[in-house]
Amino acid sequence: MSDGLKLRRVVTGEDEAGRSRIMIDGPQAAEFKSGELGGLYEIWTDTLSGPVDAAETEDKGQGTPLLSPPKNGVKIRWFAIEPAPEGISDEDMRAFTRARFEEMGAGDHQPDTSRHPAMHKTDTIDAIILISGRVKLLLDEDEAIIEPGQVVVQRATNHAWVVEGNQPAVFVAVLVDRS
């Protein structure tokens, strides 16, 4: 990540004796690099059915990063957005953005991109926390400037994030499927 943040995951669990332990301590498990405009950095994906098995040792941050969590599931990730490249045409930006959504398994999540090429909608309720940078949240009819430490509760609405300034934006997001 170009802004110098050190991304670290600490995942807890229990050992054979039922004692709490750190099971994973390190960087993200899976990364989807989308070129100059940012990327997805997976932390954890899980289902919301049944009790938590703290003795399970599977790293649920592994696998191909997809935009949405599994049905009745949760996804935790960092994501980064870079400022748009200087001089990029609207046509090139739309083509690039469309290709990235296809690669994330979200080609059908862009119902209306007339306001911005990155507009998209998921069937999730999300808590999105800006860690660094400054962004504009675009909605169909409104917009808001978001500063570090501020939280957006994104409730299955069409939206896009646009970097304000020349520094990348880094977020933490928790996406909960409600389909």
Structure token digits, residue 88: 């990029």
Helix (H, G, I), strand (E, B) or coil at 100: helix
Task: For residue 1, tell me if it sits in a domain.
Answer: no
Task: For residue 114, tell me if it sits in a domain.
Answer: yes
Q: Residue 107 is part of which domain span?
A: 9-177
Task: For residue 46, tell me if it sits in a domain.
Answer: yes
Helix (H, G, I), strand (E, B) or coil at 94: helix
- Give percent above pLDDT 70 in the chain: 91
Q: Express each pLDDT in 42-96 by its tens digit.
A: 899 999 888 988 998 899 988 888 899 999 999 999 999 999 888 999 999 999 8
pTM of this structure:
0.85
The domain that contains 132 carries what CATH number? Answer: 2.60.120.10
Task: For residue 4, tell me if it sits in a domain.
Answer: no
Structure token digits, residue 29: 């498990």
Q: Give strand pairing partners of 79.
A: 40, 171
Number of domains in the chain: 1
Q: What is the pLDDT of residue 130?
A: 97
Task: For residue 2, tell me if it sits in a domain.
Answer: no
Task: For residue 122, tell me if it sits in a domain.
Answer: yes
